[in-house]
Structures are given as structure tokens and as C-alpha cells.
Amino acid sequence: MSNFIPLQELLSVPDWYKDGECQKHDQDLFFPDRGGSTVKAKAICNSCKVKEVCLEFAVERKERFGIWGGKSERERRAIRKEQRLQTES
Ligand code: SF4
């Protein structure tokens, strides 16, 4: 019996996640070690049909780890900052 827990279940992500291109690839690509390459994961995200909703989900959830919607945590933080600035002005 396998101890494998699907990432979707582990992270409690919504149904659309099962349609993500990442489901066809090694999930470690999307959660690189610090300083690891994100190029391949971002390229996969860029061909994903749920990219927009994925990014919105990760930004709203303040997801701290991994590549979601083609963006790293740092890039998502910048998006949140930009959104804050827009609502303040
Ligand atoms: S945008 Fe990237 S992380 Fe999100 S579902 Fe698609 S492939 Fe997966």
C-alpha cells in the first residue's frame, strides 16, 4: 500500500487544480529548493489552461511556497503589493 498523498489533497486546493498542466509533471519542479531553477515550472504554467485562476488563488491565499500560475512567491508578493497600492490610491 502506497503512502503517497496527492498534492491536491495535501494542500486542499480546488477542483480546477486537477486540470493543471503540473499534474502531468514531477511536483518537485514546482517546489524547488531555495535558489533552485523555476524556469521549467514557469514554462509549464505558461501553457496551462487554469493559469489565471491558479495565480489568483495563490495570491489571495498568500501561498508562501512554490510556483503557482507561473509566479514565484516573491512575484506573488509584488502582485499583492501592487494590488494594495491600487486600492489605496
Ligand atoms: S498554473 Fe502552474 S501551478 Fe497552476 S495549475 Fe497550472 S501548471 Fe499547475
- With the most atoms of ligand 1 within 8 angstroms of its CB, the residue from 57, 68, 72, 75 to mutate is 68
pTM, entire model: 0.85
Nearest CA to ligand 1 atom 6: 20
22 Cβ closer than 6 Å to some ligand 1 atom: yes
Which ligand 1 atom is nearest residue 48's CA?
A: 6
Query: DSSP string spanning the chain?
Result: ------HHHHHT--GGGGGSGGGGS-GGGGSPPTT---HHHHHHHHT-TTHHHHHHHHHHHT--SS-BTTB-HHHHHHHHHHHHHHHH-
Per-residue pLDDT for the chain (89 aa), expressed as one digit of tens each?
556 666 666 667 789 999 999 999 999 999 999 899 999 999 999 999 999 999 999 999 999 999 999 999 999 999 999 999 999 88
Compute, in angstroms, the gap from residue 89 CA to the centroid of ligand 1.
31
